[in-house]
Structure 1
């Protein structure tokens, strides 16, 4: 039985948050300061993060994706002038059923979107995990040569294929569109397969840039 959509404060951004990833936030716009005040007043301390497809993070009027991630606030520091510095972590996927008016801050009715049941044998899923992990480490090593690695190639990755399927998306040197596409994949098997393809393409592109002698 599908759960009824629930209201959630939403933070549209120009970046993609996936489950397991850590996302620092610097909150200065008045309406988002109000959002943070409201979120921190709740026991769950959760907000939704979605990608802005077109438009700006500041001022509204943006076009947003309908699939995002619940971010849990694990640390919050307020400055003397009222700005917030947050550290959040991606917890689980959500799908937006309907956007609500942006006043006083962006809100939406959302439902959780867990991974689809997967009948892939465990040894096959482990093989896909191992391949994706190898490729993300290779991609990060090449990105390091270009000075563009988001995290070290030695980053810890889970032995659990489902968790790892999100971690390689978060760690890999991929653009927002690719990360969003992988976030929207129904299950771990397909996510690992598609991540491996995208990481392989990223490696080839970065190696070509190195061969040409420039960033």
Structure 2
């Protein structure tokens, strides 16, 4: 990861249900609302080029939408404009953060005062390993899940992917509800995230609350 300047105390945040960003992972975004186009423009003018991804919660906040207390900031590493003025953006995950308070002001998008304390491991350049990962059993479970939902996968790539890339990519891509995505985000370690992911997949396969777990 490219060296970043000191992480700022205040960052723009994008409350997007179900969109999960994790450290050292990449999240594509499609921006078209004027306020988020302004957010992109303003973020590109900063040294860090950070945007914080946060799940909404049920507690009312600005515009009637509350924010979860923990999110993940990503650096804008790619963007392109379409002919009709929309933007395709890629965020590269830098670090999780804790929302301290929302910053009031005249900005059309939301900004938060955040703390980066407690997430120092997120900012290490090396991928996290999962020493207790039984990849064979995990891939067998994943095969059952994909088969049940008539999904395809590049199994050769999945078998060769590093532990962190595999677990984080699936956590971001599989269609769990926002509360489950938040649990995956807040997992304190890669092994805990993998265990949470396994639990969610097994629950879905048992025919759990499909309306809650799978959109």
Give the TM-score, by structure 1 length: 0.72
Q: CA deviation at 1:31?
A: 2.1
Query: Equivalents in 2 of 1:39, 1:166: separation in Å?
Result: 25
2:63 to 51, 60, 65: 60
CA contact (8 A) 2:25 2:165 kept: no
1:48 to 31, 48, 52: 52
RMSD over equivalenced CA pairs, Å: 3.5
Give the direction of change, closer, same or farther, for the CA distance of 1:134–1:40 in structure 2 (3 Å limit): farther
CA contact (8 A) 1:49 1:69 kept: yes
Q: CA deviation at 1:180?
A: 1.0
1:71 and 2:74 are equivalent in the alignment: yes
1:99 and 2:105 are equivalent in the alignment: no
Query: Equivalents in 1 of 2:199, 2:82: separation in Å?
Result: 43
Report the equivalent of 2:21: 18
Give the direction of change, closer, same or farther, for the CA distance of 1:177–1:72 in structure 2 (3 Å limit): same
CA contact (8 A) 2:52 2:71 kept: yes
Query: Equivalents in 1 of 2:90, 2:59: separation in Å?
Result: 24
Report the equivalent of 1:126: 131
Query: Equivalents in 2 of 1:53, 1:22: separation in Å?
Result: 23
User: What is the CA deviation profile of residues 39-93 of structure 1, one whole-angstrom value per residue up to 9, with x for unaligned ones?
Assistant: 111233221010122499xx93311111111122222123455433322233332
The answer to which of 130-139 and 168-177 deviates more is 130-139
Q: CA deviation at 1:100?
A: 0.9
1:35 and 2:39 are equivalent in the alignment: yes
Report the equivalent of 1:141: 147
Q: CA deviation at 1:141?
A: 3.4
Q: CA deviation at 1:137?
A: 4.1
Give the TM-score, by structure 2 length: 0.72
Query: Equivalents in 2 of 1:5, 1:41: separation in Å?
Result: 14
Instruction: Give the match's secondary structure for 1:201.
Output: helix
User: What is the CA deviation profile of residues 120-146 of structure 1, one whole-angstrom value per residue up to 9, with x for unaligned ones?
Assistant: xx99x4333524454334323332x1x
Unaligned 5+ residue runs, structure 2?
1-5, 123-127, 211-215
Structure 1 outlier segments of 4+, above 6 Å: none
The 5 A counterparts of 1:135-214 are 135-143=141-149, 145=150, 149=151, 152=153, 154=155, 156=158, 158-160=161-163, 162-205=164-207
